[in-house]
């Protein structure tokens, strides 16, 4: 799985900056979806009686 070409690919600095960028976007999207679902639409299960 982790052969030389993978190593070459991953040692490329621009690859890491791209990965970082994608990761930040992914986090922002994930948090936004969470916010919209929870706060805006209140789309979550609410329990009145603690089991």
Partner 1 sequence: MFWKIFQTENLLLCADAVPNVLNFFDTTVAPPLLFYSYIPILLITVFFATLVLFKDKFSFLSKLLFLVAFSFAMWILNVLIQWTAVHASVVYFAWQLTALFEISVYLFSFYFVYHFTYRAPMQNFLKASLLVLALPVIVLLPTVFNMEAFDLVYCEAFLGRLWDYIYAMESIIIFLILYLGFKGYKIAKARGDRKSFLLLITGTFFFLLTFFLSNFIGEITRVYEFNLVGPIGAVLFFTLLTYNIVRFKMFKLKILGVQALVVALWILVFGLLFVHTLSLVQTIVIITLTLITVVGYLLIRGFDREVRQREEITLLAHDLQKANARLKELDKQKTEFVSLASHQLRGPITAINGYVGMILAGEYGEVINQDAKDALKKVQIAGKDLGVLVGDYLDVTRIELGRMSYTFTDVSLAQIAREVFDQMLPVTEHANLALSKDISEEEIIVHADANKIKQVMLNLVDNAVKYTPNGSIVIGVKKVGSKVQFSVTDTGTGMSQKVLESIFEKFVRAPGAQRINSSGTGLGLFVARKIITEHKGRIWAESAGEGKGSTFLFEIEVLA
- Site of interaction with partner 1 (CB under 8 A): 2, 7, 10-11, 16, 19, 23, 26-27, 30-31, 33-42, 44-50
To the nearest whole angstrom, how small is the minimum distance from the Cβ of residue 14 to partner 1? Answer: 13
| Interior angle at CA 24, CA 22 and CA 29, nearest 5 | 90
Between residues 14 and 39, which has the closer beta carbon with respect to partner 1? 39
32's tokens: 């936004």
To the nearest whole angstrom, how small is the minimum distance from the Cβ of residue 5 to partner 1? Answer: 13
Which residues have a Cβ under 8 Å from the Cβ of 29 and sit 6 or more positions away? none
């Amino acid at each position: 799985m982790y052969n030389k070409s993978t190593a070459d690919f991953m040692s490329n600095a621009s690859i890491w900056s791209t990965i970082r960028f994608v990761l930040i976007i992914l986090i922002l999207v994930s948090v936004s979806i969470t916010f919209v679902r929870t706060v805006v639409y209140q789309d979550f299960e609410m329990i009145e009686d603690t089991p």
